[in-house]
Structure 1
Amino acid sequence: MARPGQRRSGGARPDAGAQRRRAPRPTEQGIIPVLAEVAREVDSAVQRPPTRPAVRTKFQVVALLVREERARVMADGGSTEAQRAKQLKRLDGVATLLARTAARDTSLLQLLAEDARVSDAARAFKATVMRAGGLEPPEEPEPAAPAAPVTGTESQVVPRSVISRQLANPFLAPDFEAAAERLATRARRLAGWELLEPLFRSFEYAATGAPACMPLPEARSLSAAHHRELMPHQARVVAATARGHRTFLLADEPGLGKTAQALLAAQAADAYPLLVVAPNVVKTNWAHEVGLWTPHRRSTVVHGDGDRVDGFADVVIVNYELLDRHVGWLGDLGFRGMVVDEAHFIKNKSSQRSQHVLALSERIRTRTARPLLMALTGTPLINDIEDFRAIWQFLGWIDETQPLGALQTALEDTGLTPADRGFYAAARASVIDMGIVRRRKADVAADIPARRVADLPVELDGAVGRSIRASEAALARRLVERYRAAVAARAEAAVVDGIDLELARRVAAAELKDSTSKAGGENVFTMVRRIGQAKAGLAADYAAQLARNVGKVVFFAKHVDVMDQAEQTFADRGIRYASIRGDQTPKVREKNIAAFTGDPDVSIVVCSLMAAGVGLNLQVASNLVLAELSWTHAEQTQAIDRIHRIGQSEPVTAWRIIAAQTIDSKIAELIDSKSGLAARALDGAGDEDASSSTDVQLDALVGLLTDALTADGVA
């Protein structure tokens, strides 16, 4: 038997629990040893991936308390310099351990951002750790309810056409059903129970492994306007709306047509006027989709101070960044429906855009009994289960403290409490039935084509956009002058009524020849390149959103400067990418291809359309962004075929970024129209040659000229 004070040389070691239960030495008292112990637990857990939410919460709490304790030590005037140095050294030890842990799982770094949300669970754990370290946690302030939109502030504006609408209809019709619903009460069996935290955790504890999706009815019809047809999975959401469902968290993967579903749901619910809040890069596309799917409804897009807003439109589209200027009149317009696109943008409830969205939703629900509210996102969860909180609050399922309305009733009807074993499964099912709809491409593969090209119109704002439109107008005037000069030089007998298309084609050919033979000056090639440069940031922004939603994305561009700008955007956002360019050695090229196809952290590959359009297999991705248009359909198809190959298990979507109201749109139409000719030539159905790049360039100039002549009254 070992004598007192003698170290054991063999036998069993004391159990870890006994070691933790011993009285701490004087140097181990206080908050720092508690933080060190929790940090070691976190580091040990992170070494056994995946990192669970509870571990992430502990990491964030320790990091916050290390930061606060460091500030307290630095400000402690009652300690000597040596005592402060000793405390800071111990804190540095904990911080070093946290840094090593974050290096194992870099996603933990997001929890340290200035705008990172501190969940209720994190606040509760923080209080527990502080008490264990002998500190008294501060009292948490009561959470503030979302403020109603404030009008009259300096930054806010009211467009003139909106004032006209208000004057034309100064009194909104009262909705007595809305007031009755808000006053309705019932006995609450679950009164006194904390329900929000169990609701969030039900998606972790009761997960089934299958996508969360409410029961949806079969659709009777797939038909839509302009002889368009919905895909069956889209039609089922519209059918659910027609049957009376009014709140949806539509979390389908990108490429499954969430925009069309939202617009046709609004039509089924007669939810007009409808407010759409979307990222800047897609707001022009929303207006385009309104014209396609609900052509009898007018849309208006809010830009800047709203000088061009149509206050009488059925659908008002605004981007998140402009809400602070327009939230006042938007809150008073009387919307009966609201769609929030890329709804994960509002996950941080302390952000201004989140507060504006929640305030607008509250205004709509106050005035309308059963408004249509739809949150669209392919990634409803970014870091934590509680990312649901802001989205559920927007939909009116919860408030700051408890479930509301139908969700509260559904929980009451389960007959269970959070203490019962079956509560989490029942609670998860109750939330899903409120309107969560999640379908993956693989789930509805039979609905969608194996390959499709989806156009995404973007608007070129600001000085760059104005300059490009001015250059296009100058080119059109030059073509018109050439055409009129040619007409004037003709003999009177040769003059034809209306536009002479043969002459227009000769004028366009002469302009094209000058453009290719002369250096300098504005021409169709320099203008298209400038459009590509102007689209680069928007295209990169959309590719970044796709990468966050679906994983790996292929990004194609024609020009090096467009690739450079896109890569800088990805680097600024902390997105890892690979690059495939024409000036690379074979060794570098293979290394970058391997990084994209084999490294799960490399989300995007930026490809030169000329250097990477052939000979590559990138089928690890099923989404592709065409930042610049090709001059031929074949070149575009070759790029898409980098991911649409034998072995591709998912439907492929190529997102074509098109600058609205520019020659870019005309080029896209021409490429599509030439595809049939190319197919016939390749299939041997005729003697025609497949269309060349010169055909598209020439026809684009002919279209520019004929449009200008028509505008001048030449019919």
Structure 2
Amino acid sequence: MIVSEEEPVARGAQRQNGARTRTQRRPRHDNDGIIPVLAQVVREVESTVQRGRTVPATRTKFQVVALLMREERARVKADETKPGARRVEELKRLDGIATILATTAARDTSLLGLLADDAVISDRARALRRELLEAAGIEVPDEPVQEPVPVEPTPADQRQVVPQSVVSRQLANPFLAPDFSAVAKLTAAPRRLAGWELIQPLLRSFEAGGSLSCMDLPAPRATRAGGRLDVMPHQAKMVAAAAEGHRTFLLADEPGLGKTAQALLAAKAANAYPLLVVVPNVVKMNWAREAELWTPNHPATVVHGDGDTIDGFADIIIVNYEVLDRHVGWLGDLGLRGMVVDEAHYIKNRKSQRSQHVLQLSRRIRTRVGDPLLMALTGTPLINDIEDFTAIWQFLGWIDEAKPVGELMEALEEIGLTPADRGFSAAARAAVINRGIVRRRKVDVATDLPARRVADVPVEIDGEAGRSIRAAEQSLARRLVTRYERALEARPERAGDGIDRDLVRQVAARERASKAAKASEENVFTMMRRIGQAKAGLAADYAAQLARSAGKVVFFAKHIDVMDTAEATFAQRGIRYASIRGDQSASARQKQIDAFTHDPDVAVVVCSLTAAGVGINLQVASNMVLAELSWTDAEQTQAIDRIHRIGQEEPVTAWRIIAAQTLDSRIAELIDSKAGLAARALDGADDEIPDSADVQLEALVTLLEDALEERVSSSFLGS
């Protein structure tokens, strides 16, 4: 059962902690008390989720019902004065509510986060809790006002540093020129839309699809960046928008269309210096090179570690996510006029530390500067869910935690419609796009870019490795079937003889979240790793054949042991290779990239999917081997676009090595089925957007359904 029970607590302790007290004026019957109220609300939640409309109000109801169900269960179990039969009956009714909650959470797995111990209880949730208790005739005392507790410095705060060169810059100019333009950006409170929930309707407007999501861009002023450097027309248009005064951009061009150059030239056009650039560690040095290439008159400095070697007077400060926590203090006081976040999908989880630091710096810049340049760069803004937009929009200052703000709010007011009106969705989508979404596809703006394809190469895993993998899959399937059958037997009413698809998804979700399952040798993660290890040598052999027949090859893997096996295979074959790993320094990584790019004798580069999947150019090759599967189509696409980008002259092929007759083949199909998210939300495609459940969950669902269907088929043949 998804909703866990709490330990019973005494009534006196409940009253002491501000919990509810109960009137004893009349005996409780089946229609009295909190249980029928919870049953009614949980049915409303279930119905809404079944229709595919999980709005914030529904999420609040789900969370409050779960909390009150836990409290009521604890109260009933602790009440020794209640007759035993009555207690059993009430616990049975609470089990029914818990079952509905579990089934509903299986339909929309994003609801599971509301059940976590550290889940945030909003003011609206507290208010709804009071309403439901009062509707059940239960008195709710006012919550005592608590004195604020002094906040101790976090480890991140204690690690913060101020490089000496930054101190020198501050001493050279101790008084920043006041900028009162930020005051002019303050907007009036919403009028017609006051009280409306707007964030979810804005997100849903992108789920509904439409035309290509790109704001109107002005004609380019020039196609030359300086010296001999030419920019492509689509790049020049974006830079022209910055030159004309637009200041917030979600630059979501498909990977390989030169977003780095566009960001640097936009900062130059907007005179957005000092400029902060936050990037993944793997591309820090590449950004420094690009800055020297495109904006040579604006020196760039790269922050390593505590920043002891940086140039405190540089115009462009490049820092990676991993060390940003040490530098947020002095960066916030530097007087930044621009901020670029590269691979902005890294901040999609707003609760993560790196997201909090990025959002903190963005707020600080926006409160000090009226028109700062804020740019979020990502070719894959949507990884699993349309909700991935929210952190990026918040960084850009389009929304806050609860509502649209600033010019976006004004634009929504000017529409003259509410979310209940027909036509609001399309108009709201356009309002968001006009705030600065820039999305171009390769097929539209880089017509001379050659085609690309993904080709699957099935391989058979024989011997002991193959037998071990198949045995592990069967063991996992048996465990899932056993859990399914136990859950089915525990139900008071069984839904026919067919497979209960909702229960299948619930069992799969519990398996994925189970700590015992994660510790087992037979879980979806360890099995995929074992499959990767088993096919590593076969994948390396295939890459070696490609290198001898077709030229340079990029070899991608997820795990270090797979990379080790591949490199040993290449060494045995007499093939020279380069290696890009996560534990390399930036300079060592760049040397490996340069060796593969410029040395004709280096035939293969072995890359970590996490360390080399973004931000680097390997278009000297046109063939790629994907030795292990990603968990998302976006991650796979990012890897392929290391070679399918501007500058590529040959057709690109990504050879995906698939272990036949294993979970590997199911994962490949699921990844392909989830590829339509960005296409529908941003590119105007008609593909159906998959739900937010991830590939691991879907793989377990598929595995369990196949096992159950096999059992049904065997029973039918046996009869």
Q: Identify the TM-score tier after normalising by the shorter chain.
A: 0.5 to 0.7
> How far apart, CA to CA, are the structure 1 residues paired with 2:314 and 2:73?
59
User: Residue in 1 aligned with 2:215?
Assistant: 214
User: Residue in 2 aligned with 1:178?
Assistant: 182
Name the CA shift for 1:405/1:76 in 2 (closer, same or farther; >3 Å): same
User: Residue in 1 aligned with 2:397?
Assistant: 396
Q: Where do residues 232-631 of structure 1 align in structure 2 (5 Å cutoff)?
A: 232-380=233-381, 388-399=389-400, 403-416=404-417, 420-444=421-445, 446=447, 448-450=449-451, 577=528, 583=534, 608-611=539-542, 625=556
- In the TM superposition, residue 342 of structure 1 has moved relative to its aligned partner by 3.7
For 1:69, give the aligned amino acid. Answer: M
Name the CA shift for 1:113/1:437 in 2 (closer, same or farther; >3 Å): farther
The structure showing larger relative contact order (alpha-carbon pairs under 8 Å, at least 6 residues apart) is 2
- In the TM superposition, residue 668 of structure 1 has moved relative to its aligned partner by 3.6
Superimposed CA distance per residue, residues 144-175 of structure 1 (whole angstroms, 9 cap, x where no aligned partner): 9xx9x999963322111111110111111222
> How far apart, CA to CA, are the structure 2 residues paired with 1:348 and 1:582?
31
User: Residue in 2 aligned with 1:62?
Assistant: 62
> How far apart, CA to CA, are the structure 2 residues paired with 1:382 and 1:88?
41
- In the TM superposition, residue 425 of structure 1 has moved relative to its aligned partner by 3.2
Preserved CA contact (<8 Å) 1:195 1:402: no
Preserved CA contact (<8 Å) 2:203 2:387: no
Name the CA shift for 1:32/1:368 in 2 (closer, same or farther; >3 Å): same
User: Residue in 2 aligned with 1:671?
Assistant: 596
Superimposed CA distance per residue, residues 486-525 of structure 1 (whole angstroms, 9 cap, x where no aligned partner): xxxxxxxxxxxxxxxxxxxxxxxxxxxxxxxxxxxxxxxx
User: Residue in 2 aligned with 1:94?
Assistant: 97
Structure 1 position 27 matched with structure 2 position 30: yes
- In the TM superposition, residue 191 of structure 1 has moved relative to its aligned partner by 2.2
> How far apart, CA to CA, are the structure 1 residues paired with 2:356 and 2:139?
31
User: Residue in 1 aligned with 2:164?
Assistant: 160
Preserved CA contact (<8 Å) 1:290 1:299: yes
- In the TM superposition, residue 373 of structure 1 has moved relative to its aligned partner by 0.8
Preserved CA contact (<8 Å) 2:169 2:312: yes
Structure 1 unaligned regions, length at least 5: 1-24, 453-566, 590-605, 617-622, 640-654, 679-715
Name the CA shift for 1:226/1:672 in 2 (closer, same or farther; >3 Å): farther
Q: Secondary structure at the match of 2:339?
A: strand
Structure 2 unaligned regions, length at least 5: 1-27, 454-517, 548-553, 604-719
Identity of aligned residues (%): 55
For 1:410, give the aligned amino acid. Answer: A
User: Residue in 1 aligned with 2:610?
Assistant: none
> How far apart, CA to CA, are the structure 1 residues paired with 2:286 and 2:121?
35
Preserved CA contact (<8 Å) 1:216 1:237: yes
- In the TM superposition, residue 448 of structure 1 has moved relative to its aligned partner by 4.1
For 1:672, give the aligned amino acid. Answer: T
User: Residue in 1 aligned with 2:7?
Assistant: none
Preserved CA contact (<8 Å) 1:119 1:386: no
Q: Secondary structure at the match of 1:171?
A: coil
Q: Where do residues 62-81 of structure 1 align in structure 2 (5 Å cutoff)?
A: 62=62, 65-71=65-71, 73-74=73-74, 79-80=79-80
Name the CA shift for 1:198/1:178 in 2 (closer, same or farther; >3 Å): closer
Preserved CA contact (<8 Å) 2:243 2:269: yes
> How far apart, CA to CA, are the structure 2 residues paired with 1:61 and 1:53?
11
User: Residue in 1 aligned with 2:478?
Assistant: none
User: Residue in 1 aligned with 2:191?
Assistant: 191
> How far apart, CA to CA, are the structure 2 residues paired with 1:218 and 1:579?
53
Preserved CA contact (<8 Å) 1:165 1:312: yes
For 2:168, give the aligned amino acid. Answer: S
Superimposed CA distance per residue, residues 102-148 of structure 1 (whole angstroms, 9 cap, x where no aligned partner): 5566565455556767789988877776666667899999xx9xx9x
> How far apart, CA to CA, are the structure 2 residues paired with 1:155 and 1:93?
50
> How far apart, CA to CA, are the structure 1 residues paired with 2:127 and 2:555?
44
Preserved CA contact (<8 Å) 2:282 2:586: no
Q: Secondary structure at the match of 2:158?
A: coil
Q: Give aligned pairs, total.
A: 483
- In the TM superposition, residue 333 of structure 1 has moved relative to its aligned partner by 0.4
> How far apart, CA to CA, are the structure 1 residues paired with 2:110 and 2:263?
32
Superimposed CA distance per residue, residues 267-312 of structure 1 (whole angstroms, 9 cap, x where no aligned partner): 2211111112234444444334333433433333333333233222
Q: Which has the larger radius of gyration?
A: 1
For 1:333, give the aligned amino acid. Answer: L
For 1:669, give the aligned amino acid. Answer: D
> How far apart, CA to CA, are the structure 2 residues paired with 1:431 and 1:155?
38
Preserved CA contact (<8 Å) 2:350 2:356: yes
Superimposed CA distance per residue, residues 48-105 of structure 1 (whole angstroms, 9 cap, x where no aligned partner): 7xx4433x97467435532453145426797228566665554344334444455566
Q: Secondary structure at the match of 1:322?
A: helix
Preserved CA contact (<8 Å) 2:205 2:428: no
- In the TM superposition, residue 432 of structure 1 has moved relative to its aligned partner by 1.6
TM-score w.r.t. the length of structure 1 is 0.55
Preserved CA contact (<8 Å) 2:76 2:90: no
> How far apart, CA to CA, are the structure 1 residues paired with 2:442 and 2:327?
36
TM-score w.r.t. the length of structure 2 is 0.54
> How far apart, CA to CA, are the structure 1 residues paired with 2:170 and 2:71?
53
